[in-house]
Amino acid sequence: MIPDELRKVLEKQQYAFIGRHSAIKICYWTKKSLLDEGVCYKQQFYGIKSHRCCQMSPSIGFCPNRCIFCWRPIEYTIGSVLPDKNVDDPDELIKNAIAMQRRQLIGFKGNPKTNMKKFAEAMEPMHFAISLAGEPTAYPKLAELIEKLHGLGKTTFVVSNGMFPDRLAEINPTQLYVSISAPNEELFKKISQPQLRNGWDLLMKSLNVLRQKRDKTRTTLRITLIKGWNMVEPENYAELIKLAKPLFVEVKAYMHVGFSSYRLSPTNMPFHQDVKEFAELISAESGYRFIDENSASRVVLLMEKDFEGRIMRFE
């Protein structure tokens, strides 16, 4: 399903295919954790073990948006959504993802700097970040994939752009993210470049779905900040937060990596202090409390004020 040219581009970037349209890629923070050189902000915020995380996608090359800040080669996008038939089987994806994760990490066994206890644990990944490249809800069997992973005792994070609200309503991952790139429809069209004519309306529907998921999954709204583009109208971001009513809000800097570097400048990447100051404006407008930050990833975590006392961390 993946054209040879796109496959070559992705394999050069160390993507490893595990199906006709699915792949994993070892995360930078998984490698750092194995060497005891740091962990992902998700471990800091939520307790996810970076060395046991499998970063994967069941929809490589498929996305209904062409976001200017995306690290993937949007110029090679195959389509908006996968067909309902002849797609990768969830059981095969899980088996292949674990096998490929082990294969990709095996070199760490011979590195004297590797924490061998972590390496042994990494051979059985426990957390699946379904957010690598492509839109995960473009995969018609996403709900089944998540259920099977949970049946094996795994945890799941899904990051969606909110263009398929009906499919979003079908899934209950451990933590569900919806990403927003703009405080209004005009900027959304310029930044996310939706290929669906009613993209903004679909996003609003997904924010309503997120609101309804509060008792079924940990909900998160992610705001990606691009300096010179969307660091405006904190009051309108607050209105979107109030609509979605997530448990958490991550305010995160655009990172000048991958193919986004052909579309944006390094000056479009906010410093951590820029992110923190804008997050404080959103906090003041929304009532969500500042509770944590990670300067390496340039991200700030806000939490719903009424979430006090509920368990934040999990394995």
Query: Under a CB-based contact definition with an 8 Å cutoff, are residues 275 and 251 in contact?
Result: yes
d(CA 180, CA 278): 15
> Model confidence over 169-182: pLDDT tens digits?
999 999 999 999 99
Is 286 in a helix, a strand, or coil? helix
Summarize the confidence of residues 65-85 as an average pLDDT.
88
Strand extents, DSSP E, 204-281: 218-225, 248-253
Which of the pair, 310 or 44, is modelled with greater confidence?
A: 44
Distance separating alpha carbons of residues 25 and 10, to the nearest angstrom: 10
Half-sphere exposure of 208 (CA within 13 A, CB side): 9
Mean pLDDT of 79-99: 95
Integer angstrom CA distances of residue 164 from 70, 102, 209, 308: 18, 32, 10, 31
DSSP SS3 for 150: helix
Grade residue 308 by pLDDT with cuts at 50, 70 and 90: low
How far is Cα 252 from Cα 69, in angstroms, rounded to an integer?
12
* Residue % of the chain over a pLDDT of 70: 97
296 DSSP assignment: T
Angle between helix axes 272-286 and 234-244 (nearest 10 degrees) is: 60
Q: Domains (ranges, CATH) in the chain?
A: 4-307 (3.20.20.70)
Is the four-CA dihedral 137, 260, 5, 92 of positive or negative sign? negative
* Burial 247-257, CB ≥16 within 10 A → b, else e: bbbbbbbbebe
How do residues 130-158 score in pLDDT, each as one tens digit?
A: 988 899 999 999 999 999 999 999 999 99
Q: Which pLDDT value is given to residue 312?
A: 52
Q: What is the pLDDT of residue 309?
A: 44
Whether 55 contacts 27, CB under 8 Å: yes
Alpha carbons 217 and 174: distance in angstroms, whole number: 6
Which has more pLDDT, 308 or 263?
263
CB 178 within 8 A of CB 244: yes
What does the block give as tokens for 164?
A: 């398929």
CB proximity list for 144: less than 8 A, separation 6 or greater = 90
Question: How many Å is the Cα radius of gyration of the chain?
Answer: 19
Token pair recorded at residue 205 = 């529907």
pLDDT digits (tens, 9 = 90+) for 235-278: 999 999 999 999 999 999 999 988 888 899 999 999 999 999 99
Residue at 224: amino acid letter: T
pLDDT tens sequence across 119-135? 999 999 999 999 888 99
Containing H/E element for 159?
Answer: strand 155-160
> Contact, 156 vs 149, CB < 8 A?
yes
Which residue's entry shows tokens 């410093």?
271
- Find, among 159, 311, 166, the residue nearest to 250 by Cα: 159
Greatest alpha-carbon pair distance for the chain in Å reads 54
Q: Which residues pair with 136 in a beta bridge?
A: none
Q: What's the pLDDT band for 30 if we cut at 50, 70, 90? A: very high
**Separation CA 24–CA 16 (nearest Å):** 5
pLDDT of residue 313 exceeding 70: no
Q: Can you tell me the mean pLDDT for 214-243? A: 96
Classify strands 127-130 and 53-57 as parallel, antiparallel or unpaired: parallel
Whole-number pLDDT of residue 34 = 98
- Across the range 18-32, mean pLDDT stands at 96
